[in-house]
Chain A
Amino acid sequence: MALKPAQKALGPIRRSFAPWLDPSAVPLIRFENVVKRFGDFTAVDDVSLDIHEREFFALLGPSGCGKTTLMRMLAGFEAPTSGRITLAGKDLAGVPPYRRPVNMMFQSYALFPHMTVAQNIAFGLKQDGMPKPEMEARVTEMLRLVKLEPFASRKPHQLSGGQRQRVALARSLAKKPKVLLLDEPLGALDKKLREETQFELMDLQQDLGLTFLIVTHDQEEAMTVADRIAVMNHGKLVQVATPGEIYEQPNCRYVADFIGDINLFEGTVTSAQGGLVRLKSPEAGAEFVTASEAALQPGAEVALAVRPEKMRVSLEPPPAEATNPLRGEVWDIAYLGDWTVLLIKVEGTEKIVRVSRANVTRSEARPIGWDDKVFLWFAPDAGVLLKS
């Protein structure tokens, strides 16, 4: 498994696990030109996607982008209008959901209200006619896995939301499916529990060695848990990449804007040579220089995208070697504890720039306040050029 020489590490690379970079690797799940229409509405529009074994893969997008439909087609609840879905080389067309080696954890959990926790977990095993002693052992194992042993004989309505979520997880894992599908699994949990559970899910996936496919609209969740993320919009895949690449190297404005916060400077290329592109941005009243290998002609319309945390801000003028300097006035401040977000109006323009600073100390001698005149700058490799 050789990394392509041009591949630069963007963000943390998890456990150097990257079968998608290996051209000889055979993917576990393949979506081939999958289209799904409901009447006139195209929910999934010509999606081709490979998911590898043991991958934690996230489908990310706003509601109605087709991510859930894509997952439901894999589970067998919807049939593709055209295209093919294969699992371990086998075409899934016409295979009913109850014969597919995938299990799903439903957004609503869909626990059977008339069964106890143990009966819920045993349900799938019972369908396979697993012998009783083996089944009981598996149920106990699953209960231990999700730390619900004392609740085996409770009914779902006697559990808290977090406990129900665990039962749903245990039930979907009990059959040891090839692929576990998670449909917005943590949507109903509060923030703290959600974050805890995200890490637990990652550990679980790692320990069990299963392939997880998660559908979520929460970009933080996707970035936390996933090896790779597919960003979807209007039924199409917009970008499929690692969380680091998605964040640091968005391939279009939609992804740049959807994931995290970003400053976009619209402008015109004035020169492009030696890996450096210079552009003039009338809306910020400035000229910028940025590192880019893109073959651009002078006069091309582009946008320079810079993440708020990659902009530097100071009350003092920047050092002489600083690139891309701007001056502005503090328009708004949001103190978030770990970060402070500053909205700064660029001098002589209407452009508002978003800058975030890590609060590395508990107090500052002279903190930046409202209406302060400040200096901004960023490095040539801080931004990404996007086509207009």
Chain B
Amino acid sequence: MDVKELIAKRVAKEFKDGDVVNLGIGLPTLVANYVPDDVEIVLHSENGFTGIGPAQSGEEIDPDLVNAGGLPVTIMPGGSFFDSAMSFAIIRGGHLDATVLGALQVDEEGNLANWMIPGKLVPGMGGAMDLVGGAKQVIVAMQHTQKGTPKILKKCDLPLTGAKKVSKIITEMGVMEVTEEGLLLVEYNPEYALDEIKAATEANLLISDNLKPMV
């Protein structure tokens, strides 16, 4: 299985029936494909609706309905439209159960950096700061390293998107929870030895007493 699919599939197990969820652009978007049949989640799009459906297809594209990445999509039965103020009231106000985002860096205190690299890449935060600061659960879904360079650090050195907000990190190597004591590996991918996972992680990795295989 493709690494991104593997990560998305594991993230999809995080949700309870009825959860309201916002999926970031890129890998996190794939998560929607793997939600178990007995779990119904409500997908929130920060430009102003719930019930994100599949991408539009065919020759007649409706320009009035795009997702937060600007791509034409559909809305599922039971969906709803709203303005940007309500959209972010949902996010900040404790009405969003989870958000899944990628990261440039994440650290053992739950700090997340994913909106700029000074002098190189400054796209802006869009809705990411609100999502990280407002969602009840912030799940970082990403490949464990950037081509071998650790992204899970002791301390982020890029500008933060949110301070101490990450609840969980899910990569192809395992599942880590941010705890008071530090970063706790609770599941691991048996394709990797524990030493390999530790070596790919700059943060101090605590190993759970109940460590389980991930896949």
Q: Do A and B bind each other?
A: no
Give me the interface of A with B, judged by CB distance under 8 Å: none
